[in-house]
Structure 1
Amino acid sequence: MPSPTSLSSTKRLLHFFLLLLLVGSALARNRHVITFGSPGLAPVGLAWDPTAQHFLVGSRLRPAVSSVSDAGVVETLLSDPLLPPDSSAPALAVDNRRRRLLVAFARPASLAAYDLRSPRPHRRIFSSSLPDPAAVPGGIAMDSTTGDAFVTSATGNLIWKVDLDGNPTVFSKSPIYFPQESAGDEDRPEAATAEGGLGGVAHVSWGFLLAVQGSTGRVFKVDAEWGAARAVTDAGAKKGLATEAEGVAVRSDGGVVVAGGRAARWLTSQDGWAVAAVYDEAAVEEGRARAVAVREGRRVYLLVTPEEEEDGGNMGRGDDGGYEGKRNRIEEVEWRRESEEDMVWVLVLVGLGLAYFFYWRFQMGQLVTNMNKKRA
């Protein structure tokens, strides 16, 4: 009959291996993918609402914002009747501290704030026309401390600032935003608008913004007080290496994710973002990455829609609109570097488990030997 000591050791060993299996399964969880569709939605822009626990997407076809649950259920969060019906909502951001939703509209260009504490459709706090009514907003960054919003122009080379009361000003307008290959090109005066418009923008708590340039993929560091800008990466501007960039988001560990086209890039910096380097890349297997958002600090999600060429010009409406079964996705990015780190932890845990097992076997062997000597 096994001794109480032997039973206790066996129980501890079983508990340890059960914990090992639970940790391993958590590290090896499947990538989270949300598939959704809604007639006429044409999703653009992506934000995560940590209080309501759902994603928010704008529409390229109407002045509306919808919520998307983890189960792919789409609900209209707001549809502003005071805007022209052909307006669009290309950029949005959640001010969770004040429970506001900021939406940048196009046709005409404006920024509006809505009270997320009010019943749906949410009450509008303010609506401010941007200085250039023909512009198309590219992204919104929020300074959670001051409540200031920064809006980029996807059809120009500037950033607007809108304060807590809704007063807009031109914040940053720099020649550095112009594509390097088109600077000084007198034969292509439209190049700066067509190729150099700014896309997504993110506010970093250290007092600056990071803005991305549409077709070149360049990233700019912009002083959040004075608007002075400098490029922190120019890899996208080199011929043959052009990388689209439609969105940018900041992780809780300080990493920055830039997404657009067929890929997402995880950038890091060792010198306060004077220079950025690519830490990892992840490809979009099918469709096009339109926007990026960070959920729960480090989990990165992309808004992926069908390619317009493949979509027949249907703006990514998905099979709910009857377009050959094509749907939109909000999918979690699976980073190779993080997968490797997770595998290292699993191997470490397995090694500890085996070491504990052999140590237990040795102790049990010693115990049996001692008991046999006493009996003898």
Structure 2
Amino acid sequence: MDRSVTYKGAVVELVLARSTVHGWRRIATAVSAAAALALTGCAAANADTPGSAPGSDRLPDLVMIERPGLYPEGVEWDAKRQRFLVSSAADGSVTAVHDNGTLSTLDSGEGLTSTLGTYIDEDRDRLLATVADFAAVEDATQPGEAALAIYDLTTGRRTALVPLAGLRPHRRHLANDVTVDAIGNAYVTDSLTSAIYKVTPDGQASVLVEDPRLGSSNGLGLNGIEYDPRGFLFAAVAGTHKLFRIPVDNPTNMTEVVLPEPISIDGITRKPNGNLVVAAPFTPAVITLSTSDDWTSAQIVDKVAVAATDTTTNTTVRGGALYAINAHFAQMHEPKPVQAFEIFRVGTVN
């Protein structure tokens, strides 16, 4: 079924290439020239199984973020306030985005260089965001940054900024992604070391695990991270295209999840059914993984391809739907900043 949206008076058919165990299916092929620059690669599709999750057909296929030069890597759905929250690799801010495109600043990013990965801790009504210097990704002379910012979602106030770089001094740093366990401990990946940091609810920071397998001599190391309520973490190493399962109570007992093909994973989202949705910006696609052996290995059960010009970095669950964000990192250093960014629906969570 084709879907279309209207953006600034132009009717746009959303483009999707979807691969599942049942084969390829093309849902739409035409994008209005009037909106092509803003909307190339936006997608909408089913996910693990055919059909729509309850209520998902009433949700938008596309939400535009019209803030030039934002470059949002992280996206979270704030269900309590019915809004998306996005980070900014460019200025360290956090912005609230509503379905109609209305924007409001949760935090201006004062004193911060870049915010990247985000996580909403619903039980404690707080947002966590990794703090980094995105320039360190491309410039090896830059020391980078690693910290964790914490925001009260009721007041919008930044309540804490936990420094992490000092845990591994004299190293380059890039705090990339964050997740939270059931009791409020946060876990942060550092892409330029081989370490995952742990931050307790009262702000005490330590190194959870440091292992050469979590590093990479080819670009970024650690990237996306997600907590499984059975007591372990999934952590992706982008540069080596690997995924690891790490018990939080015995992190040195980490094991590699055997993937069906090399995948350079950015953000990771765990579905209610236990499957993992991974953003793979260099594939480029949003991929759903499942397992039949408790994550000794994984299988691809769904793949939603996006345009090669997009940088799909993270996904978030909203009710019965799954959304992805296009950070447009490939255009970050062009003379004219990207004018608008897209949050687009890529499937369901059933």
TM more than 0.5: yes
1:305 aligned residue: 327
1:71 aligned residue: 100
- The answer to whether structure 1 residue 195 and structure 2 residue 219 are counterparts is yes
- The answer to whether structure 1 residue 230 and structure 2 residue 255 are counterparts is yes
Output aligned runs, 1:75-94, within 5 Å: 75-81=104-110, 83-84=111-112, 87-94=113-120
Q: Given the superposition, is the C-alpha separation of residues 166 and 28 from structure 1 closer, same or farther in structure 2, using an over 3 Å criterion?
A: closer
Q: Name the CA distance, whole Å, in 1 between partners of 2:122 and 2:54.
A: 32
1:174 aligned residue: 211
Q: Name the CA distance, whole Å, in 1 between partners of 2:338 and 2:95.
A: 15
Deviation at 1:256, TM superposition (A): 0.7
Q: What are the superposed Cα offsets for residues 2-57 of structure 1, whole Å, 9 maximum, x if unpaired? A: xxxxxxxxxxxxxxxxxxxxx99978778712122202312111112111111111
Q: What are the superposed Cα offsets for residues 130-158 of structure 1, whole Å, 9 maximum, x if unpaired? A: 02474111210111x21100000122222
Greater RCO structure (CA 8 Å; 6+ sep): 2
Q: Name the CA distance, whole Å, in 2 between partners of 1:60 and 1:51.
A: 25
2:174 alignment partner AA: V
TM-score with structure 1 setting the length:
0.68
Find the structure with the greater CA-based Rg: 1
- The answer to whether structure 1 residue 113 and structure 2 residue 150 are counterparts is yes
> 1:176 touches 1:231 (CA, 8 Å); kept in 2?
no
Q: Name the CA distance, whole Å, in 2 between partners of 1:278 and 1:163.
A: 34
2:162 alignment partner AA: S
Q: What are the superposed Cα offsets for residues 285-331 of structure 1, whole Å, 9 maximum, x if unpaired? A: 351211121222x52211113362xx372499533xxxxxxx31111
Deviation at 1:176, TM superposition (A): 2.6
Q: Given the superposition, is the C-alpha separation of residues 163 and 27 from structure 1 closer, same or farther in structure 2, using an over 3 Å criterion?
A: closer
More helix by percentage:
1
1:129 aligned residue: 163
Which residue of the other structure, out of 150, 153, 164, is the alignment partner of 2:190? Answer: 153
1:328 aligned residue: 341
1:324 aligned residue: none
Q: Given the superposition, is the C-alpha separation of residues 170 and 291 from structure 1 closer, same or farther in structure 2, using an over 3 Å criterion?
A: same
1:293 alignment partner AA: T
> 1:268 touches 1:279 (CA, 8 Å); kept in 2?
yes
Deviation at 1:207, TM superposition (A): 0.7
Give the aligned CA root-mean-square deviation in angstroms. Answer: 2.7
Deviation at 1:164, TM superposition (A): 0.4
Give the secondary structure class of the aligned counterpart of 1:275.
Answer: coil
Which residue of the other structure, out of 125, 128, 132, is the alignment partner of 1:99? Answer: 125
- The answer to whether structure 1 residue 258 and structure 2 residue 292 are counterparts is no
2:238 aligned residue: 214
> 1:31 touches 1:334 (CA, 8 Å); kept in 2?
no
Deviation at 1:249, TM superposition (A): 0.3
Q: Name the CA distance, whole Å, in 2 between partners of 1:203 and 1:163.
A: 15
Give the secondary structure class of the aligned counterpart of 2:74.
Answer: strand
How many residues are aligned here? 280
Task: Return structure 1 stretches of 4+ with deviation > 6 angstroms.
Answer: 23-31
Deviation at 1:271, TM superposition (A): 2.2
Q: Which runs of 5+ in 2 are unaligned?
A: 1-51, 134-144
Q: Given the superposition, is the C-alpha separation of residues 29 and 126 from structure 1 closer, same or farther in structure 2, using an over 3 Å criterion?
A: closer
Q: Name the CA distance, whole Å, in 2 between partners of 1:164 and 1:173.
A: 21
- The answer to whether structure 1 residue 248 and structure 2 residue 264 are counterparts is no
1:270 aligned residue: 292
Give the secondary structure class of the aligned counterpart of 1:97.
Answer: helix
Q: Which runs of 5+ in 1 are unaligned?
A: 1-22, 180-190, 237-241, 320-326, 339-376
Q: What are the superposed Cα offsets for residues 231-268 of structure 1, whole Å, 9 maximum, x if unpaired? A: 112445xxxxx432110001111111011211011011
> 2:53 touches 2:321 (CA, 8 Å); kept in 1?
no
Output aligned runs, 1:44-59, within 5 Å: 44-59=73-88
> 1:57 touches 1:66 (CA, 8 Å); kept in 2?
yes
- The answer to whether structure 1 residue 140 and structure 2 residue 178 are counterparts is yes
TM-score with structure 2 setting the length:
0.72
Q: What are the superposed Cα offsets for residues 178-203 of structure 1, whole Å, 9 maximum, x if unpaired? A: 45xxxxxxxxxxx1xx4351111111
